[in-house]
Chains A and B, each alone.
Chain A
Amino acid sequence: MREVSTVLEVREVRKSYEGASLLRGISFRLARGETACLLGPSGSGKSTLLRIIAGLEPAEAGTVMWEGMDLAPVAPHARGFGLMFQEYALFPHRNVLENVAFGLRMQNLPRAETEIRAREALARVGLADFSQRKVTDLSGGEQQRVALARALAPRPRLLMLDEPLGSLDRGLRDQLLADLRRILALDGTPALYVTHDQEEALAIADRLLLIHDGRIQRSGTPAEVYADPGEAWVAQFLDMGTLVQARVIRSSPLRAQSELGVLAPRCTHTPHAIGVNLTLLVRRAPLTIERTAHRRYNVVRGIIQEVSFRGDSYRATLDSSTHRLAFDLPHPAAPGTALSIHLAPEAVLCLK
């Protein structure tokens, strides 16, 4: 089904920067109306990938296709894509309305229509009264909205957003994030959203594309990714819990011996033979706290070190003799208490 509605396809794109290879074969597809989030640490080449898709930078290998057509011969200004830049790149010599109208003017639309559509775009981001203001006088959040209006006004076939909330403070970010979600949903424009902030990604994405080491490490809906991060790096980057090395001691039902004790991981892959080494993810929740260990597996014993209140739970560090692990406890526990934590079956996962 996704096959049918694919609009953008990126295939095996490679790029190196100052001798070091930055993108080592990036491939993914974007469906009509979908918002995909490129999530990865700073310096992982996300912005470079956007510039390659926009045609602002050539790829060393690979293709970017739109509805099955190779975009290589199409100049950036003829692609009909919108790109919202990190720190916005508003034209300082033009006022708000002129900035928003720029893309429409490039299409040589009649003056009246240009103005109407630019004002519409401004109204959509809630800045209808700002048209004559200088962009240099705007606050960060206002600049962000103008940049969004400017990118949306020409009705691009694809909207790309490069860390659009990067430099804003938290309260503003949450509000703009909600606005952005609403506008993207309303518009139906496929969007590619770049960020290094997982909360932002979860809030906006239909699909996550986790990029690391020049490759897409994991792709899927946020729920899919959280249910099964797959790669150890993904679990670590999304801060889903603690990674533990273990060796299979029984294959059915699966049991593995780790420094934390015997664990019963959930694995989606083929059954594992005895003696195989596994990397396991121990999540912070769900779990139950017992005074004594009455189970033989998925029990972690240790001494509570620090506890901080998290609103709906208590984040505690537990010192087992070999690891320091973080857990989200349903009720508070005093530092220094010895606990046995019984992990729920879904709290222990196999990783690749």
Chain B
Amino acid sequence: MIVRAGLVPQGSYGAGGSRRSLLLLVLPLAFLALFFFYPLFTILRLSLSAVGESQPLALNSILNPLGFTLWQASLSTLLTCAVGLPGAYLFARFEFPGKRLLRALTTLPFVLPTVVVAVAFNALLGPRGWLNLGLMALSGASVPPIQFINTLWAILAAHVFYNTAVVLRLVGNAWAHLDPRLVHAARVLGASPWRAWREVTLPLLRPSIVAALVLVFLFDFSSFGVVLMLGGPRFATLEVAIYTQALHLLNLPLAALLSLIQIACTLTLTTLYARLAPRVSSPSAPRAAVEASRRPVGPRQRLAAVLLVGLLLVLLVAPLAALAARSIARLEPIRGQRTSVSAGLTLSYYRELFINRREALFYVPPIAAVRNSLGYAAATVVIALALGLPAASALARTSRFGRQVDALLMLPLGTSAVTLGLGFVVALDTPPLDLRASPLLVPLAHSLVALPFVVRTLQPALASIPERLRMAATTLGASPWRAWREVDLPIVARAVSVAAAFAFTISMGEFGATSLVARPEYPTVPIAIFRFLSQPGALNYGQALAMATLLMGLTLAGILVIERLRLPGVGEF
């Protein structure tokens, strides 16, 4: 999964016994070989067979999604920048009441599962959303006046919603650390405000802007859930095309070929970002950020600040608020009632989740999806920690192979979730590795996605424990196991909690890989939301709202745990 790749910090390497480290790495590497490289290899083989087949390859079925992917990613990136750059300026240079809260709120979208975002936009702008229902109530029209869902605008808006945080963080940080006196110097030397921006601010911010652009483009390029749920059947990115070809048209070779193209593109973009990122983190004129920001002065600055805050609120917070509010609002008759209803508050959508209706989608109460997800998440936490702890300890101790192994472990980050899912589908279906019916398939896929985060969270904590402490414990009579328990464990307990929260949150919201590997009778929460959303009827819609709100709450709880517990400076961009 590429999303959140930027959150992962660079590791550092200690020195120490490399034989023991190798031993620790056996299990994680075997896991990667079996569930990452082997599926990828199968995809490669399949796609070669697709190229080699005698029937003419439908070139359009590759070029169309590729072209659209590039087009929408470019548009989305430009729009994100148009919103993010002024926003970054606002955060870097101005103090205003509620700044910390707004900063936290603007980061929220970035961590939310795509299904939640899709439902949130639906709740605000969809045919049953606040805006349309409000306009219909005002005008008495019977048809929703705003056509938003299933348009390119919906995709673009959701992408801006998602990735503005990237620009705010990357460019905003660089801007906050940019010495304001440089611009002052230019101004006194005769540069107009515009010229000072062009000649001083822009060149100095360029590395961070370019890095943000690449990262945003990468996210938009491999966007799946948003395009699938908000774009409708007319729009297909590579990711969506892989999904449709594999799941609906059952053309696995073509899906594999598309996956290969996807991998090539994302790897290129990831490499590009990895090249650019270090330049961003070492600003040429480092400086405390607080000094530079002050309250807006004069009516023009104040108006601009108010407008920007308003824009960010509308764009980044309104959909989430609309979702939560819509899930408890009675605005239209449910269950096919003909009579008009009085608008008010209701918990009926939530109550509905516990009822097993005949017309319900799964013949089980929808709350079962929550149970499934919790079970999968628990399994993911166990698997990811069981693999991540030894891997992180090995990386923390050794410098030999360190970088190579680290890069190997991070590779799943650079691979799109749908591709990971497709790999499972095409590779793990023949004995002795026939896992199609195994309940472990979903947590295995989630672990693959979560493992890089777990390793990157644990490794710095483990590396921070000086060898002297263990030696001291040993000379005082502690056995190796006891030394680990008395010295390492208390220190890493916090990091383990953060890693577990990462794994749990990722598993709860994972949609791309799950959509390919989950069995229909055991849907996860995101899958259930997706199905509810694609069915007609107010009841289905209401249940999607209720479930998405629940998932949003769970995700926020997870992020809160992570933010509370994580060591300062670890896990930032």
Contacts and interface: CB of A to CB of B under 8 A. Distances in A.
A85 B188 CA distance: 10
A102 B198 CA distance: 13
Interface string A265-308: 00000000000000000000000000000000000000000000
Contacts of B196: 77
A106 B184 contact: no
Give the interface size bracket for B toward A: 20 to 34
A76 B187 contact: yes
B185 interface: yes
Interface stretch (A88-96, A120-128, A249-257): A88-96
Interface in B265-315: 284-285, 297-298
Given A77-B192, A106-B195, A85 B185 contact: yes
Contacts of B539: none
Nearest to B95: A18
Contacts of B187: 54-56, 76-77
Interface in B189-226: 189-193, 195-196, 199-200, 203-204
A236 interface: no
Nearest to A83: B188
A107 B190 contact: yes
Contacts of B182: 89, 91-92
Interface in A34-89: 51, 54-56, 58, 75-83, 85-87, 89
A103 B181 contact: no
B181 A89 contact: yes
B192 A75 contact: yes
A337 interface: no
Contacts of A91: 182, 185-186, 200, 204
7 contacts: A51-B184, A54-B188, A77-B195, A83-B188, A89-B184, A91-B200, A93-B203
B332 interface: no
Tell me if B's interface is mostly helix, strand, loop or mixed. helix
B185 A77 contact: no
A154 interface: yes
Instruction: Tell which of A51, A79, A102 has the most Cβ of chain B within 10 Å.
Output: A102
Given A92-B285, A93-B203, A93-B284, A106 B185 contact: no
B193 to A, nearest CB: 8
A106 B204 contact: no
Given A93-B204, A136-B284, A77 B191 contact: yes
B352 interface: no
A215 interface: no
A150 interface: yes
Instruction: Tell which of A55, A58, A82, A89 has the most Cβ of chain B within 10 Å.
Output: A89
A77 B190 contact: yes
A78 B189 CA distance: 9
Contacts of B406: none
Contact of B188 (A77, A90, A107): A77
Contact of B181 (A79, A85, A107): A85
Interface in A126-184: 136, 150-151, 154
B179 interface: yes
A194 to B, nearest CB: 14
A250 B191 CA distance: 64
A-B residue pairs, 4 tightest by C-beta: A106-B190, A103-B189, A92-B284, A89-B181
Nearest to A106: B190
A92 B188 contact: no
A154 B181 CA distance: 18
Given A75-B192, A154-B190, A58 B185 contact: no
A278 B191 CA distance: 54
A163 to B, nearest CB: 12
Given A77-B191, A106-B189, A85 B284 contact: no
A89 B190 contact: no
Given A58-B297, A91-B200, A102 B284 contact: no
Given A92-B285, A106-B186, 17 more contacts: A54-B188, A55-B187, A56-B184, A58-B298, A75-B192, A77-B191, A80-B190, A87-B181, A89-B182, A89-B185, A91-B204, A92-B182, A93-B284, A103-B189, A106-B191, A136-B284, A154-B190
A283 to B, nearest CB: 40
B496 to A, nearest CB: 41
B72 to A, nearest CB: 33
A154 B189 contact: yes
B188 A82 contact: yes
Given A56-B184, A102-B186, A106-B189, A89 B284 contact: no
A86 B291 CA distance: 14
A250 to B, nearest CB: 56
B297 A76 contact: no
A112 B363 CA distance: 83
Contacts of A54: 184, 187-188
Contacts of A103: 189-190
Contacts of B185: 83, 85, 89-91, 150
A84 to B, nearest CB: 9
Interface string B19-56: 00000000000000000000000000000000000000
A122 to B, nearest CB: 15
Nearest to B189: A103
A281 B467 CA distance: 63
B290 to A, nearest CB: 12
A193 to B, nearest CB: 16
A81 B298 contact: no
B189 A56 contact: no
Interface in B171-189: 179, 181-182, 184-189
A87 B291 CA distance: 15
Contacts of B284: 92-93, 136
B88 to A, nearest CB: 19
A93 B174 CA distance: 14
Contacts of B190: 77-78, 80, 103, 106-107, 154
A3 B251 CA distance: 92
Contacts of B179: 89
A58 B300 CA distance: 14
Contact of A56 (B188, B195, B298): B188
A37 to B, nearest CB: 20
Contacts of A102: 186, 189, 191, 199
